[in-house]
Amino acid sequence: MSDKKVAFITGGNRGLGLETAKQLGQLGIFPVIGSRNLEQGRVAVALLRAEGIEADAIQFDVVDKEHYRAAYEYFEQRFGKLDILINNAGVSLEGEPADAPARKDPTSSLTEDALRGTMEANFFGVVLSTQVLLPLIRKSPAGRIVNLSSNLGSLTWHSDPTSRIYPVKMFAYDTSKAALNSFTIHLAHELRNTPIKVNSVHPGWVHTQLGGKVAPTTPEEGAKTSVRLATLPADGPTGGYFHQDQHLPW
């Protein structure tokens, strides 16, 4: 096991995260699922094992700092390293993206609870848990950090009236993803002279519990960008914002 790559997928017990774990497992990588509900994580592991993929699950809530340290101890004691971190867990407290154009003045009426809750899960939790796990990623010969962002985090597109996302304004969610993109840029710069690569991903508008029922992209298709960036070669990009092979504007 020590020679096998190990990946940690937060929010990996369902939807896009579970599909990402499956695709990584199919490549011979050992996926560890982080799930707020450990039993749901174990159910996901059973699904993977039924397809011939060895996996494990740990309890992990991205806003619970005690889980950060517990995750560190798990990976340190069992593997001595962490090769891939996929920051997949996230929330949307303003409804589904498909509903956004129909809402009126969501920015001016957004509650403090919605704003703080979204930023806590989608930004602060990701940053702080990554900081805790980073020493283990440094022990990998080819560490990869993949931050699940969204095209709704693009300030360029949000300010362009001709952009297709221009009318889709969810202030808390959009801002959390823009902030996450900033984290990607800054961490990639700090680690630029190491083997570690850090990138942001727009998986597409994916048909999941978060993405909503009318989303056109399947989890199978949506996971492909994360898997590609998690398995980049040594000459691959870092500090980028991608959907499939497309560079997205910040």
Widest CA span in the chain: 54
Query: Which residues are registered as beta bridge partners of 34?
Result: 10, 58
Report in angstroms the alpha-carbon separations of 229 from 96, 144, 181, 236: 26, 8, 15, 8
Q: Which of 68, 74, 173, 241 is catalytic?
A: 173
d(CA 68, CA 125): 9
Catalytic residue at 173? yes
d(CA 48, CA 122): 26
Q: Which amino acid is at 99?
A: D
Task: Name which of 59, 29, 65 is nearest 44 in CA terms.
Answer: 59
Q: Which of 177, 197, 224, 241 is catalytic?
A: 177
Sequence-ordered list of residues with C-beta below 8 angstroms from that of 112, at least 6 positions apart, any chain: none
Tally of CB atoms within 10 A around 184: 26
- Residues serving a catalytic function are 173, 177
